[in-house]
Amino acid sequence: MAKKTVRDVEVRGKRVLVRVDFNVPLHEGKVSDDTRLRAALPTIEYLCQQGARVILVSHLGRPKGAPDPSLRLDPVAQRLQELLGKPVRKLDQCVGPEVEAAVDALQPGEILLLENIRFLPGETKNDPELAQSLARLCDLYVNDAFGTAHRAHASTVGVARLRPAVAGLLMARELEVLGRLLSAPDRPFAAIIGGAKISDKIGVLRNLLGLVDSLLIGGGMANTFLVAEGYDLGRSLCELDRLEEARSLLAQARERRVNLVLPDDLVVAPDKIAGVEHRVVPVNAVPKDWMALDVGPATVKAFRQVLSSARTIFWNGPLGYFEQPPFDEGTVEVARSLPAGAVTVIGGGDTVAAVTRAGVADRITHLSTGGGASLEFLEGKELPGVAVLEDK
């Protein structure tokens, strides 16, 4: 069911606690990629315009429940301030009397940013006392952090139970676009699944087999399927303990008449290093001590063929070891061939990075900000941070 959003409730004058996903990469004390900050701007700007008193809370990195000076949110406040063109007051604590005093002094349209919430051990334990302390700061709770909605933490679930709780605009968009893939995708619906391992994505693969018309498999994950089919892939990345699982997925695809496409050819090399010699071979001719690091041109062509007539495309997982050119070629070529007329949804941190690198991000319908969360959502699981929000 659709969730209430910030647009469905009165926010004027209210103290609004917004859980955002400001888990951004830092480099030398600066935000090196502000995509996640930009993604949160519509909700923050809307709330300010409507005269809400905005209190932002996020985690950054994995500080393990104790303060870590390298993971303070000061660089985030700095960048956010530039993006918004207005002051963002950053506090050095998350809860407590000083924070409460700052919140009391907050005027409509003003913004506070709390310290990294994972500095407190109660966050990931969903500690009721921390949830209470967060609830004391607000009249309304907003979750705009789709990327952490699959975790039941104090700032995603605990506090949401104690106050009226609605979705932010980014969260709403994620739920709408990903929800559509599960409920009513335009057909044909094709999914491209790559990345390193089957074991990360079994649940998604299984669920997708019940939804898609075609399933295109590439990347390290395809190796396990190919080995399961009897090919010798040399020293390629492969999960030998997942061969049965791979066979069962192949059988399920046949049963459901899903057009499951595995690579026909691969780019192979003796090692995963820069400048290494490499060549294209059919899947039955991988040299003994070599490894498959990308899909080959015949595979790209076959994938393109399927994608050209698709009306909905979901893609998670690069098709090769894309961090090291030339093994990014398969991924880049497929990214460039995504049809402009189709609904295209990309999920996964590495996949979004790869598609952005291919220079086609602006042609994509939706780049999901949630890696693990988007996969759990497409597995058909209910995300705890979503379940707790009010229904429309």
Active-site positions? 36, 197, 349, 372
Q: How far apart are the first and last CA of the chain?
A: 7
Quick note: the x/- pattern for ligand ADP over 326-365, rule CB under 6 A, is ----------------------xxxx--------------
What's the one-letter identity of residue 305? Q
Contact set for ligand ADP, span 13-42 (CB under 6 A): none
How many Å apart are CA 197 and CA 201, to the nearest integer? 7
Determine the interface stretch with Mg ion among 61-69, 154-162, 339-347, 348-356 (rule: CB under 5 A).
Answer: 348-356
Least Cα distance to 388 among 171, 233, 104, 204 occurs for 171
Min dist CB 185 to ligand ADP, Å, is: 20
Q: Taking contact as CB under 5 A, which single stretch among the options 8-16, 217-225, 282-290, 347-355 is the one that binds Mg ion?
A: 347-355
In which residue are the tokens 């009165």 written? 10
We find the least distance from the C-beta atom of residue 37 to ligand ADP, in angstroms, to be 20
241 or 323, CB closer to Mg ion?
323
With a CB cutoff of 8 Å and minimum separation 6, the contacts of 176 are: 2
Q: How many CA atoms lie within 13 A of 287 on its CB side?
A: 12
Q: In the range 93-132, which residues lie near ligand ADP by CB under 6 A?
A: none
Q: Does 370 bind ligand ADP (CB under 6 A)?
A: no
Kindly state the tokens that stand for 148. 């952490």
Q: How many residues bind Mg ion (CB under 5 A)?
A: 2
Coil, strand or helix: which one is 345?
strand
Q: Which of residues 299-318 bind ligand ADP (CB under 6 A)?
A: 316-318
372 binds, among ligand ADP, Mg ion, none (CB under 5 to 8 A by kind): none
- In the block, tokens 């103290």 appear at 15
Q: How far is 315 from 334, CA to CA, in rounded Å?
A: 10
Find how far residue 311's CA is from the centre of its chain.
Answer: 22
Q: Which helix (H) or strand (E) holds 267?
A: strand 265-269
Question: What residues from 199 to 228 belong to the interface with ligand ADP (CB under 6 A)?
Answer: 200, 219-220
Helix or strand (DSSP H, E) at 189: strand 189-193
What are residue 267's DSSP bridge partners? 280, 294
Q: Cα dihedral sign for 262, 264, 270, 274? A: negative
Q: Is the Cβ of residue 95 or residue 345 nearer to Mg ion in the bound state? A: 345
Neighbours of 184 (CB within 10 A): 9
# chain residues binding ligand ADP, by CB under 6 A:
21
Report if residue 239 touches Mg ion, rule: CB under 5 A. Answer: no
CB of 348 to Mg ion, least distance (A): 6
Name the residue whose CB lies closest to ligand ADP: 348
Residue type, 80: L
According to DSSP, the β-strands at 291-295 and 265-269 are antiparallel
Cα–Cα distance measured from residue 346 to residue 352, given in angstroms and rounded to the nearest whole number: 6
Stretch that binds Mg ion, among 129-137, 163-171, 290-298, 344-352 (CB under 5 A): 344-352
d(CA 35, CA 63): 22
293's contact among Mg ion, ligand ADP, none, with CB below 5 to 8 A by partner kind, is: ligand ADP
Stretch that binds ligand ADP, among 58-66, 154-162, 173-181, 320-328 (CB under 6 A): 320-328
350 binds Mg ion (CB under 5 A): yes
| Residue 237 binds which entry of Mg ion, ligand ADP, none, CB below 5-8 Å type-dependent | ligand ADP
Which residue matches tokens 């295109």? 216
Q: Which one of ligand ADP, Mg ion, none is in contact with 334 (Cβ closer than 5 to 8 A by kind)?
A: none
Minimum distance between the CB of residue 142 and ligand ADP, rounded to whole angstroms? 27
The site partner of 317 among Mg ion, ligand ADP, none (C-beta below 5 to 8 Å per kind) is ligand ADP
Residues near ligand ADP, by CB under 6 A: 194-196, 200, 219-220, 237, 292-293, 316-318, 320-323, 348-351, 371
Residues near Mg ion, by CB under 5 A: 349-350
